[in-house]
Amino acid sequence: MMTTSRRAALSLPALLAIPCAATAQTGPWPNKPVRVIVPAPGGAGTADTVARIYAQELERRLGQRVLVDNRGGANGNIGAVAAARSAPDGYTLLWSWAGTLATNPALYPDLPFDPVRDFDPVILVGNVPNILVVNRDLGPRNMEEFTAFARSHPGEINFGSTGNGSSMHLAGELYKGLTGTQMTHVPYTAPAAAVTDLLSGRIQVMFNLITGAAPQVRAGSVVPIAVLSDRRAPQLPEVPTTAEIGMPGLVFGTWFGILVPKGTDPAIIARVNAVSNEVLADPEAKAKLEQAGLEVYGGPPERLATYLREEIARHAGLVRGANIRLE
């Protein structure tokens, strides 16, 4: 087995020639189509969109078909279980995100998979940040004004989300905890319904994903307060980040990572990581991903391993602190 430093030192051309004899390989990997399990229905928003962009770019570089296998249901658990039970031969990749990997362990007492025990990390692909937006008639135009307003109207502000434990919900709870404000969470089953109520004033606030909020911000239908990130979003470069305005702890989004079933040959992991980093560094591919709302990350498998452990702990704290339960 190669050490981490040895794998990191290998160039992409060297990795392309690695034979993977530890599995049932009869030749260099890959010699048949690769499957990417996406734990969401086809066409289901940003998750599916960015996964398909990535799969197309990966296919172009590997010289084998890369097939997206949508396995929606149970907040991503169905797809994650299918990936965990797949053979660790490098022909099944899991494309998953914060909700399934970091939030679900806290929401489900009997989660049928373990994101750390059942998988080997490959790469932290990127993040789609949340953005705090408010009804245009509410009054505040920046974070200082909004927080002052929220503190002076405890319990009177309603913020909408796509359900208990969703990214939008947890971002709101994080804001409440950091600012000591009181707001009422209103869960919806679809983001469109929440946005409709935000525009009409039935709810006053959303911590929407930037992909969902950008059209309303550009149209002037809502007031953007801040992007919950440490970098400005290409979709709305004029909107400040929470890090810029002195709230570095208020960072939240839906991050994406690629994992493989536990026990996959380290040489295969190293190659997928190398090719994935090549995709993320390619100007054209990066532009496509950013247009879809993604903050592009990348890096070695160890970055995802560390990030995953930290995020599981952070999300568990938010779920416990807000006493969030699935309905």
pLDDT at 7 over 90: no
User: What is the C-alpha to C-alpha distance for residues 277 and 75, in angstroms, rounded to an integer?
Assistant: 28
How much is the pLDDT for 242?
A: 98
Tokens describing residue 115: 């994101």
Question: Hey, what domains does the chain have and what are their CATH numbers?
Answer: 4-128+254-321 (3.40.190.150), 129-227 (3.40.190.10)
User: What is the C-alpha to C-alpha distance for residues 162 and 139, in angstroms, rounded to an integer?
Assistant: 24
Round to the nearest angstrom and report the end-to-end CA distance of the chain: 46
Rg (CA), the chain: 20
pLDDT at 15 over 50: no
* Per-state percent for the chain, helix, strand, coil, to nearest 5: 45, 20, 35
pLDDT at 217 over 70: yes
Average pLDDT, the chain: 92
User: Which DSSP string corresponds to 195-231?
Assistant: HHHHHHTSS-EEEEEHHHHHHHHHHTSEEEEEESSSS
Residues 6+ apart with CB under 8 A from 23: 87, 88, 89, 90, 264, 265, 268
Alpha helix ranges (H) inside 95-205: 98, 104-107, 143-152, 167-179, 191-200
Which residues is 34 bridged to in the sheet?
66
How much is the pLDDT for 23?
A: 40
Q: What is the pLDDT of residues 242-273, one digit of tens each?
A: 999 999 999 999 999 999 999 999 999 999 99
User: What is the C-alpha to C-alpha distance for residues 53 and 38, in angstroms, rounded to an integer?
Assistant: 13
What predicted TM-score, i.e. pTM, was given to this entire model?
0.88
pLDDT at 149 over 50: yes
Of 247, 268, 239, nearest to 22 by C-alpha is 268
How much is the pLDDT for 326?
A: 86
% of the chain beyond a pLDDT of 90? 88
- In this predicted model, which residue has the larger pLDDT, 82 or 234? 82
Distances (CA, A) of 310 to 98, 126, 271: 11, 16, 25
Are 38 and 95 in contact by the 8 Å Cβ rule? The answer is yes
Please report which confidence band the pLDDT of residue 45 belongs to, taking 50, 70 and 90 as the band edges. Answer: confident
Please report which confidence band the pLDDT of residue 20 belongs to, taking 50, 70 and 90 as the band edges. Answer: very low
Are 226 and 143 in contact by the 8 Å Cβ rule? The answer is yes
Q: What is the pLDDT of residues 284-327, one digit of tens each?
A: 999 999 999 999 999 999 999 999 999 999 999 999 999 998 86
How much is the pLDDT for 17?
A: 41
What number is the average pLDDT over the span 146-173? 97
Of 148, 168, 142, 163, nearest to 239 by C-alpha is 142
